[in-house]
Each structure stands twice: as structure tokens, then as C-alpha cells.
Amino acid sequence: MLTTTDQQKKCREDVEAVESFSKRYYDIFDTRRHDIDKFYQAQAKLVWNGMEFNGQSAIAKHLVSLPATRHYIYALDFFPMNDLFPNEAKTYQVFVSGGVIYGPPESTSVPKEKRLFSHIFVLTVDVNSSIWVIANECFRFHE
């Protein structure tokens, strides 16, 4: 059984891990999207504005096909999923809300509008590589 001090330390470590992962994810999405597949489990699932993509390569193919982006994160929250995955010590549901602008930064001829979005994903540690990966996610624009 963890002591209160151990629980507080684990909580701080988890906060840092989730925040760091989220920051890296959106940075890669905006600047080096061809590397985005590394953030997903092989059998991950994405629902993007109602369209479903199954598997790491299908998700990466869809995300790479999108226009250039710049994400702005307004809120990030998460909670452990220990009740649903008791054998998984590090599985979290992450909630992100923000805005995104599509189109290359150098393009000034097209007016750019920031679109609001919600992004919810299940974040877990891959058993083979011991790195944080997305297992399941849903991305939706606010219309």
C-alpha cells in the first residue's frame, strides 16, 4: 500500500507525464506530422468528427493528409481509469479543449479562422516499449 507521500509523488509524476505527452503530441502534429504514428498503439482507434480510423497506420495516414495546423490548448484535464483497467497502473482518459488554425503560416491570402475543438483520448503505457501511447481517441470540432 502506498503511503500518502508516495501517492502524492505518483500524482505529480502522472501530471508531468500527461502534460508532457500532450505538449509533445500537439507540437509534433503541428511541426513534424510524419512522426505522429509513434504516438499510437498499433491497434489504436480514432473517431475524427464522426469518421472512424482503425490502426496506427490508418490514423497516421489520415492525420498526415490534413492541411498544416497550429493548435492552441485552452484546457487539459485527465483522470486515472483504474476502475476500468485495474491491471493497468498507468491508463488515463485525457480531455483537451482548444482552437486550431488550418493552412500554412506563410499563406496570407486566405483568411484563417480558429476552429474550436474537443479532443478526448485514452493514454496508456505500451507494454512492449514502455512509452506513453494513445489507445483510443475522439476529436470533434465545435460547430
pLDDT in tens, the chain (143 residues): 667 787 777 778 888 989 999 999 999 999 999 999 999 999 999 999 999 999 999 999 999 999 999 999 999 999 888 776 656 668 899 999 999 999 876 655 666 788 999 999 999 988 888 899 999 999 999 97
Distance CA 49, CA 110 (A): 23
pLDDT of residue 36: 97
CATH number assigned to the domain comprising residue 53: 3.10.450.50
Domain count for the chain: 1
**CA distances in angstroms from 58 to 47, 71, 81, 92, listed in the order given:** 12, 22, 26, 23
Instruction: Provide the domain limits for residue 40.
Output: 4-141
The HSE-up count of residue 125 (CA atoms within 13 Å, CB side) is 11
133 C-beta neighbours (distance < 10 Å), count: 19
CB distance 26 to 20 below 8 Å: no
Distance CA 36, CA 33 (A): 5
Which runs of consecutive H residues, i.e. helices, occur in 32-139?
A: 56-65
pLDDT of residue 108: 59
pLDDT of residue 7: 72
Grid coordinates of 72: 492552441
